[in-house]
Amino acid sequence: MIPLSASLARVRPSPTVAASQRARELIAAGRDVISLSAGEPDFDTPRHVKDAAIAALEGGKTKYTAPDGIPELKAAIAAKFRRENGLDYAREEITVGSGGKQVIFNALMATLNPGDEVVIPAPYWVSYPDIVRLAGAEPVIVETEMAAGFKLAPAALEAAITPRTRWVLLNSPGNPSGAGYGRAELAALAEVLLRHEQVLVLADDIYEHIAYEGFTFATPAEVAPRLRDRTLTLNGVSKAYAMTGWRIGYAGGPAELIAAMGKLQSQSTTCPAALSQWAAVAALEGPQDFLAEARAAYRRRRDLVVERLNAIPGVACPVPEGAFYVYPSIAGLIGRTTAGGRRIGSDQDFTDALLEEQGVAAVFGAAFGLSPHFRVSYATSDAVLEDACARIAAFVGGMR
């Protein structure tokens, strides 16, 4: 047996990656499975982005780059922050990593020590608590309520902060709930944060461009400029431009933090992939029509899924403000028994039985820290969503 590190022992494998993998295995074994578990756009990367990568390849841009991003990409990111968020970041206040996930990893690893606490509202993106644990610190989970739109209340934030709190992780629009904080809601949270100078703020804005009518995206550093010097404003090209496999994420933040993150990156991946960085320059500087087209498709799919799921007795599905997930409650189904004889005692029982009996893969709520729910990713075609919702309805309809 190979002895593993104590830090790895504190970490779970990503449940969303595991759910997608299980679906892939069943499909490979010939089962008729629909996967609603992946958090990635089903669209292809825009043509002009691919062309930029091909040109970079042909032009010999195939070598190591500066550890935290080529100057051209940093300039494109600075322009993006100015144009879309009203934020001015200098080059030394910008970092680029191999996906938003690595940027978050760098930020937490660079700043956390054993005994430190990180406030994470639930439901949360699955990786937050595990990265915090890997860094030796403690996640402090604050559950939100569906009735309150899955949003962290200022009083709950205040109650969760202690002298040991180093970070608060905010994600809007959020994975898995799709909940988005408006300006006034961010301002109210900022009022609390301004009272606690030791707390850094992660604004995970990765779903910024997937936001629907009635909700206007805003980001903490812009809403509360006094928080700017302790806020890391995180974004990336994965979700916005259908570029999950290119692995480019970025952030703006205080130069000292950005330098520390760059140091860590120089000793891990060395730099993000050069070709992907050139592709990201094209995504940020090129035509932006893709964003509106994708948003319109997601909006149509959101409405379809919400309507179909709410028509199922025992399922309650709020309307999300953004991202491409719904996070319905199945409180009304706990204690029931499926047509296949499985008793539903938890949301994991629900998603396990749904996969076995109807071939629909979704992710159980406990993975995101708030039960009893399940997450459906609707970043797939309308036809697939219709089929999946019909199967979920049949599954619930067969319960005793």
Q: How far is CA 399 from the centre of its chain?
A: 32
Q: Count of alpha carbons within 13 Å of 189, Cβ hemisphere only?
A: 30
Taking the CA atoms of 142, 143, 147 and 149 in sequence, report the sign of the dihedral they define. Answer: positive
CB 248 within 8 A of CB 236: yes
Q: What would the x/- binding string for ligand PLP be over residues 280 to 319, using CB under 6 A? A: ----------------------------------------
Question: Which residue lies nearer to ligand PLP by CB, 276 or 329?
Answer: 276
- E-strand ranges in 9-137 read 34-35, 94-97, 117-122
CA angle 309, 290, 178 (to 5 degrees): 35
Question: Backbone dihedral region of 308: left (phi > 0), alpha (psi from -120 to 50 degrees) or beta?
Answer: alpha
Does the footprint of ligand PLP cover residue 99 (CB under 6 A)? yes
The window from 60-68, 94-102, 133-141, 288-296 that contacts ligand PLP (CB under 6 A) reads 94-102
Does the footprint of ligand PLP cover residue 39 (CB under 6 A)? yes
Indicate which single residue of 65, 144, 171, 351 sits in contact with ligand PLP (rule: CB under 6 A). Answer: 171
Q: Specify the amino acid at residue 236.
A: G
Residue 74: name the closest of 286, 280, 291, 290 by CA: 280
**Helix, strand, coil proportions of the chain in percent (round to 5)?**
45, 15, 40
For helices 71-85 and 274-285, the axis angle rounded to 10 degrees is 30
Residue 331: name the closest of 318, 317, 315 by CA: 315
Does the footprint of ligand PLP cover residue 320 (CB under 6 A)? no
Question: Which residue lies nearer to ligand PLP by CB, 119 or 206?
Answer: 206
Indicate which single residue of 201, 206, 271, 362 sits in contact with ligand PLP (rule: CB under 6 A). Answer: 206
Question: Which residue lies nearer to ligand PLP by CB, 39 or 318?
Answer: 39
Question: Which residue lies nearer to ligand PLP by CB, 101 or 302?
Answer: 101
Q: What would the x/- binding string for ligand PLP be over residues 231 to 250, using CB under 6 A? A: -----x-x-----x----x-
The window from 99-107, 144-152, 182-190, 291-299 that contacts ligand PLP (CB under 6 A) reads 99-107
Q: Count of alpha carbons within 13 Å of 110, Cβ hemisphere only?
A: 21
* Min CB(290)–ligand PLP separation in Å: 17
CB 220 within 8 A of CB 245: no
Does the footprint of ligand PLP cover residue 80 (CB under 6 A)? no
Question: Which residue lies nearer to ligand PLP by CB, 204 or 347?
Answer: 204
Question: Which residue lies nearer to ligand PLP by CB, 16 or 358?
Answer: 16
* Min CB(332)–ligand PLP separation in Å: 27
* Min CB(133)–ligand PLP separation in Å: 17
Indicate which single residue of 45, 165, 172, 175 sits in contact with ligand PLP (rule: CB under 6 A). Answer: 175
The two three-digit tokens of residue 163, written as one number: 């002298």
* Min CB(101)–ligand PLP separation in Å: 3
Residue list 123-152, contact with ligand PLP (CB under 6 A): 125
Token pair 């937490």 is found at: 108
Strands ordered across the beta sheet of 325-326: 325-326, 374-377, 363-364
Question: Which residue lies nearer to ligand PLP by CB, 34 or 243?
Answer: 243
Token pair 């301004």 is found at: 194
- For residues 234 and 51, what is the distance between their CA atoms, to the nearest angstrom? 26
Does the footprint of ligand PLP cover residue 205 (CB under 6 A)? no
Q: Specify the amino acid at residue 243.
A: M
Question: Which residue lies nearer to ligand PLP by CB, 168 or 333?
Answer: 168
As a whole number of Å, the CA-based R_g of the chain is: 21
The window from 98-106, 310-318, 337-345, 385-393 that contacts ligand PLP (CB under 6 A) reads 98-106
Does the footprint of ligand PLP cover residue 101 (CB under 6 A)? yes
- For residues 262 and 96, what is the distance between their CA atoms, to the nearest angstrom? 9
Please report which helix (H) or strand (E) contains residue 204, including its range. strand 200-204
Does the footprint of ligand PLP cover residue 368 (CB under 6 A)? no
The residue nearest ligand PLP at its CB is: 99
Residue list 3-32, contact with ligand PLP (CB under 6 A): none
Does the footprint of ligand PLP cover residue 204 (CB under 6 A)? yes
Q: Which residues bind ligand PLP (CB under 6 A)?
A: 39, 99-101, 125, 171, 175, 204, 206, 236, 238, 244, 249
